[in-house]
Amino acid sequence: MFFPMFIILGVEMKISDLKIYNLSVPLIKEFKTSLRTVSSAEDTIVKIETDTGFFGLGEAPPTAEITGDINQGIQGLIINKIKPLLIGEDPENIDKLHYLIENSAVNNSSAKAAVDIALYDLFSKIHKAPLYKLLGGYQNMLTTDMTISVNSSAEMREDALQAVKAGYKNLKLKVGKGVEEDIERVKVVREAIGDQINIKIDANQGWQPKEAIYAIKEMEAEKLNIEFVEQPTAALDFEGLKFVRDNVLTPIMADESMFSPADCLRLLEMRACDLINIKLMKSGGIYNALKINAIAEAHGVEVMVGSMLEAKVSVTAAAHLAAAKKNITRCDLDAPSLLAEDPVTGGMKIDGPEIKLPSNPGLGITGVKNLKEIK
C-alpha cells in the first residue's frame, strides 16, 4: 500500500534517474530504400526511473540519412543535456517536461522521441491505463502494410508474393532508383499479385519533380492503381512536392519533408501534399505527433503513422498513437516483423498484418532482453 499512499497524500512523485542502453537486433533480410541499406537494428533504449518505483521505457534508432541522428549523438544529448533537466521533476507535468526537452537543443528529434516515449509510458503507468486509451482510445486493433525493399523487379516480385501469402493486403513498394526501372518494378509486382492487393509506393526523395510527374502519370496510364506516392522528391523542396501534387491524380504523401508541427502547417497551407506520414523519430515523440495530427485533421488531411527500422519499444509507442486517433487512418508499422528476433516482452501483439494493443498500463512492455547499459 506504499505507492498508492504517496498519490493519496498528494506527495509529488519525482524523476530520480535516467539510464540508457544499447540494443542490437539482426534483420531477417537487408532493408533497402533509395537512401540506405541496413542489416541490423542498432537502437538506444531509455529508462526513466522515479522515487516511487514506477519507470518508463523509450527507444530511438539512429537514422542519419533521414533525421541526422547517430547513436552517439542520441545518447550524448540524452545524458548530458536532457537528463539533468528532468531529474527531480514531477513525471506527470507533461507540458513542462516537453518544454524542457524541446529547449535542450534544436533538432535531435530521435533523442527527444526516446525520452518522450519513456515519459508517456511512465505517465500512463501512473494512471494505470494503456497509453492508447489516455491518448484518445479510438480503437485497439490496427492493420499494417508490409514494406518491400527496392531491388530488381524479379526480387521485388518474389518478396511481394511472399508478403501476400503471409496475409498482407497492403504493400508498400520502395522505389526511387531510376524512373524507368521504378515503373517496371511496380508493373511487375502489380501483374504478379493481381488487383485485390493495395499498393502504395515510396520513392524516399529519389525523383526530381518532373521525373516524379512522368513516373506517376505512366503508372496512372498503365492503371497500376497506386493508392498514394510517398515522398517522391527532395525533403526540403516543398515547392517541388507541390508541383508534383498539382500535376498528378494519385495522392501524394509527405514523409521526410515533415518533421515538426510547423512543417505540417506550412505544407498544408501550401497544399503541397494530400496525406501526412508521422514518425515519432521525426516529430520528436508523441507530444508533437498529437499536434501534427490535429493540424492535419483541421485541414481535412488524413495521417499515416510509420516508423523507421526500429525494435518494438518505439514501434509499440507509435501503435498506441495510431490506435488512439480517428484521423490516423493508415499504419506502416511492419518494422518488428523485419527483425530476426524480438527482444521485447509484452507491447503490441503482431499477427501478420494485424496489430493488437495491449491492455496493461503504459506501453504494456514488461521487459527488454540483451540490453547493454552505457555508463
Residues that bind Mg ion (CB under 5 A): 202, 230, 255
Residue (202 or 263) nearer to Mg ion, CB? 202
Say how far residue 37 (Cα) sits from the centre of its chain: 18
Residue (159 or 256) nearer to Mg ion, CB? 256
CB of 256 to Mg ion, least distance (A): 7
What is the DSSP pairing of strand 170-174 with strand 198-202?
Answer: parallel
Contacts (Cβ under 8 Å, ≥6 apart) of 113: 58, 60, 280, 281, 283, 284, 285, 314
Q: Are 85 and 43 in contact (CB under 8 A)?
A: no
Instruction: Assign 3-class secondary structure to the chain.
Output: CHHHHHHHCCCCCCEEEEEEEEEEEEEEEEEECCCCEEEEEEEEEEEEEECCCCEEEEEECCCCCCCCCCHHHHHHHHHHHHHHHHCCCCCCCHHHHHHHHHCCCCCCHHHHHHHHHHHHHHHHHHCCCEHHHHHCCCCCEEECCEEECCCCHHHHHHHHHHHHHCCCCEEEEECCCCHHHHHHHHHHHHHHHCCCCEEEEECCCCCCHHHHHHHHHHHHHCCCCEEEEECCCCCCCHHHHHHHHHHCCCCEEECCCCCCHHHHHHHHHHCCCCEEEEEHHHHCCHHHHHHHHHHHHHCCCCEEEECCCCCHHHHHHHHHHHHHCCCEEEEECCHHHHECCCCEEECCEEECCEEECCCCCECCEEEECCCEEEC
- Annotated catalytic, 279? yes
CB of 328 to Mg ion, least distance (A): 16
Residue (27 or 79) nearer to Mg ion, CB? 27
- Annotated catalytic, 326? no
For residue 354, list its beta bridge partners: 143, 351
Residue (57 or 156) nearer to Mg ion, CB? 156
CB of 311 to Mg ion, least distance (A): 19
Residue (230 or 310) nearer to Mg ion, CB? 230
- From the candidates 32, 172, 279, 282, give the one annotated as an active-site residue: 279
Residue (121 or 202) nearer to Mg ion, CB? 202
Nearest residue to the partner Mg ion, using Cβ? 255
CB of 279 to Mg ion, least distance (A): 8
CB of 230 to Mg ion, least distance (A): 5
CB of 100 to Mg ion, least distance (A): 30
Residue (45 or 321) nearer to Mg ion, CB? 321
Contacts (Cβ under 8 Å, ≥6 apart) of 222: 183, 187
CB of 109 to Mg ion, least distance (A): 15
Q: Which residues are catalytic?
A: 174, 279
